[in-house]
C-alpha cells in the first residue's frame, strides 16, 4: 500500500492547483473512479489482517472525506470563475435594435388613429380628448337625445352609480360613453368658434358579435363657423375617404338619415365590389355605408353655449375598427381584442411605419406580413 499521508497531500495539492472544471473532474476520476488510486487502496484492504484492515479503512475514509470536501470547494470556485469569464465574453447590449427579426408590432387600430389624424391634420383639424366616463348631460341631453330615446336604455348602455353609498338611480348615474360626441360639447363649452376638431377614442356599448364589441374605437369630427354649409361637409369627407383609401377617384353617395344631434342628417356610402371572399373598395357597382354625418342641430349648439343664429356647422362620426377592417381586409372585429400575437404579427405594422401625408399612409412600410 502507498503512504496514505503522501497520497492525501498529493491529491489535495492537485485539487487546489486545478485551473478549470475539466481538469478538476479528471483529478476526481483519477482518485475515486473505478480504477482510481483511492479506490484501488480500498480494494486492497481485503488482503490485510483484520486489525490493519480496520485502521487503514478508517484512514482511507478520512482521506476520502477530506478529498470530497476539497473537491466541492474547488468546484464552486471554478464554476464562479467560468461564469464570470462567460459573462465577460458574451455581453449583450440590450439597447441595440433586434435584428434581423422584428418582434414588436403596431396594432391596426393605432395605425388607423395615426392615418386619420394625419389626414384631418392636413385639413387644419386638431385632436380633442375627453373622459371615458361621462355624465348624461354631455353624453345624451346636450346631444338632443330625449329621456325615452332607445340608445339610453340599459340593454344598450353601461351605467355606473355616481354615488356608491346610495341606491342606483338611472336618472343621475354616469355612463361609459357611447360615443365621443361628448367631447364636442365640452369643446364648445370651452372654446368659441371657429372650431375644427376630431375626437377619437374608446366608446362602449352592450353588444358583441362579429361586427360589434362592448368596447370599440370611434372618431368624430366637428366644424363650427359662420356660413358653413352641407357642401363643406361633403367636400371634407370626400377628400378624407380618397386620402384614406389612397385612391385618386372613389364613388360616394349620401343617403338621408336621422340622428338627434344633426339636421339634416345623412349616411355616406362608398363604391365597392362585394364577393363571397373579398370586398374591394373603389371598384364595382355595390355600395357600403361608412359613416354618419349632418349639420349640427341648433339645440346642440345652444347646449354648448353657441348662438345658432350666428354660427352653424357640421359633424360626422365613424368607427376606427371598421375602417381598419375595410382597409386591411380583417374579417372579424372580435380578433382586435383577443391579444393573439400571431394575429398581431400578421396584421400589425413595424414601429417605424409612421403615417403622414408626405411620407405615405399604409404604403409607408405596409403590412408586416
Beta strands 262-274 and 286-296, pairing class:
antiparallel
Q: What percent of the chain has pLDDT over 70?
A: 92
The full DSSP string for 229-276 is -HHHHHHHHHHHHHHHHT-S---EEEEEEEETTEEEEEEEEEEEEE-S
Co-location of 240 and 191 in the same domain: yes
Co-location of 80 and 116 in the same domain: no
Report whether pLDDT(99) > 80.
Answer: no
With contact defined as beta carbons under 8 Å apart, do 308 and 302 qualify? yes
Decide if 96 is inside a domain.
Answer: no
Report whether pLDDT(237) > 60.
Answer: yes
Residue 210's pLDDT band, with cuts at 50, 70 and 90, is: low
Decide if 277 is inside a domain.
Answer: yes
With contact defined as beta carbons under 8 Å apart, do 255 and 269 qualify? yes
Co-location of 138 and 45 in the same domain: no
Decide if 25 is inside a domain.
Answer: yes
Decide if 221 is inside a domain.
Answer: yes
pLDDT tens digits along 266-319? 999 999 888 877 788 888 789 999 999 999 999 999 999 999 999 999 999 999
pLDDT for 88 equals: 83
Q: Per mean pLDDT, which range of 146-155, 245-254, 325-334 is the poorest?
A: 146-155
Q: Record the pTM.
A: 0.67
pLDDT for 118 equals: 92
Decide if 358 is inside a domain.
Answer: no
Could you say which of 26, 57, 89 is where a domain stops?
A: 89
Co-location of 278 and 203 in the same domain: yes
Q: What does pLDDT average to over the chain?
A: 86
Co-location of 288 and 333 in the same domain: yes
Task: Give the C-alpha separation, 357 to 161, whole Å.
Answer: 44
pLDDT tens digits along 338-366? 888 888 888 888 877 767 665 566 654 33
Q: How many CB atoms lie within 10 A of CB 103?
A: 8
Co-location of 70 and 135 in the same domain: no
Burial (Cβ within 10 Å: 0-12, 13-18, ≥19) of residue 4: middle
With contact defined as beta carbons under 8 Å apart, do 118 and 355 qualify? yes
Co-location of 164 and 35 in the same domain: no
Task: Give the C-alpha separation, 177 to 30, whole Å.
Answer: 79
- 290-315 in b/e form (b: 16+ CB < 10 A) is bbbbbbbbbbbbebbebebeebbbbb
| Owning domain of residue 46 | 4-89
Co-location of 76 and 191 in the same domain: no
Co-location of 207 and 136 in the same domain: yes
How many structural domains does the chain have?
2
pLDDT for 362 equals: 65
Could you say which of 59, 89, 119 is where a domain stops?
A: 89
With contact defined as beta carbons under 8 Å apart, do 353 and 109 qualify? no
Co-location of 117 and 63 in the same domain: no
Decide if 104 is inside a domain.
Answer: no
Co-location of 38 and 131 in the same domain: no
End-to-end CA distance of the chain: 75
Decide if 94 is inside a domain.
Answer: no
Q: Per mean pLDDT, which range of 101-105, 192-196, 272-276 is the poorest?
A: 101-105
pLDDT for 123 equals: 94
Rg over alpha carbons for the chain, rounded to the nearest Å, is: 38
With contact defined as beta carbons under 8 Å apart, do 316 and 179 qualify? no
Co-location of 62 and 159 in the same domain: no
Of the candidates 227, 292, 223, which has an alpha carbon nearest to the alpha carbon of residue 255? 292
Decide if 189 is inside a domain.
Answer: yes
Amino acid at each position: 500500500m502507498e503512504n496514505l499521508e503522501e497520497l492525501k497531500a498529493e491529491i489535495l495539492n492537485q485539487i487546489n492547483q486545478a485551473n478549470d472544471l475539466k481538469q478538476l473532474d479528471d483529478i476526481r476520476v483519477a482518485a475515486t473512479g473505478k480504477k482510481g488510486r483511492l479506490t484501488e487502496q480500498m480494494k486492497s484492504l481485503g488482503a490485510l489482517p483484520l486489525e490493519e484492515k480496520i485502521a487503514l479503512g478508517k484512514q482511507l475514509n478520512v482521506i476520502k472525506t477530506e478529498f470530497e470536501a476539497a473537491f466541492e470547494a474547488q468546484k464552486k470556485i471554478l464554476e464562479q470563475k467560468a461564469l464570470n469569464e462567460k459573462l465577460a465574453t458574451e455581453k449583450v447590449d440590450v439597447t441595440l435594435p433586434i435584428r434581423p427579426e422584428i418582434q414588436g408590432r403596431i396594432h391596426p387600430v393605432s395605425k388607423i388613429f395615426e392615418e386619420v389624424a394625419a389626414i384631418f391634420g392636413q385639413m387644419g383639424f386638431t385632436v380633442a380628448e375627453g373622459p371615458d366616463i361621462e355624465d348624461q348631460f354631455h353624453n345624451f341631453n346636450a346631444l338632443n337625445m330625449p329621456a325615452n330615446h332607445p340608445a339610453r336604455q340599459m340593454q344598450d348602455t353601461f351605467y355606473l352609480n355616481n354615488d356608491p353609498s346610495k341606491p342606483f338611480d338611472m336618472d343621475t348615474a354616469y355612463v361609459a360613453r357611447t360615443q365621443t360626441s361628448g367631447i364636442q360639447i365640452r369643446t364648445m363649452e370651452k372654446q368659441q368658434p371657429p372650431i375644427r376638431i376630431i375626437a377619437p377614442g374608446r366608446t362602449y356599448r352592450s353588444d358583441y358579435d362579429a361586427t360589434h364589441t362592448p368596447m370599440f374605437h370611434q372618431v368624430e369630427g366637428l366644424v363650427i363657423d359662420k356660413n358653413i354649409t352641407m357642401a363643406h361637409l361633403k367636400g371634407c369627407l370626400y377628400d378624407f375617404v380618397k386620402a384614406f383609401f389612397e385612391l385618386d377617384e372613389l364613388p360616394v353617395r349620401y343617403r338621408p338619415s336621422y340622428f338627434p344631434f344633426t339636421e339634416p342628417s345623412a349616411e355616406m356610402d362608398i363604391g365597392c365590389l362585394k364577393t363571397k371572399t373579398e370586398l374591394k373598395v373603389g371598384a364595382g357597382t355595390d355600395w357600403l355605408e361608412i359613416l354618419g354625418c349632418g349639420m349640427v342641430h341648433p339645440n346642440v349648439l345652444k347646449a354648448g353655449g353657441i348662438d345658432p343664429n350666428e354660427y352653424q356647422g357640421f359633424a360626422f362620426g365613424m368607427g376606427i375598427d371598421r375602417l381598419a377592417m375595410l382597409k386591411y381586409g380583417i374579417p372579424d372585429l372580435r380578433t382586435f381584442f383577443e391579444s393573439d400575437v400571431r394575429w398581431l404579427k400578421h396584421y400589425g405594422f413595424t414601429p417605424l411605419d409612421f403615417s403622414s401625408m408626405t411620407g405615405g399612409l399604409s404604403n409607408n412600410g405596409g403590412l408586416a406580413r
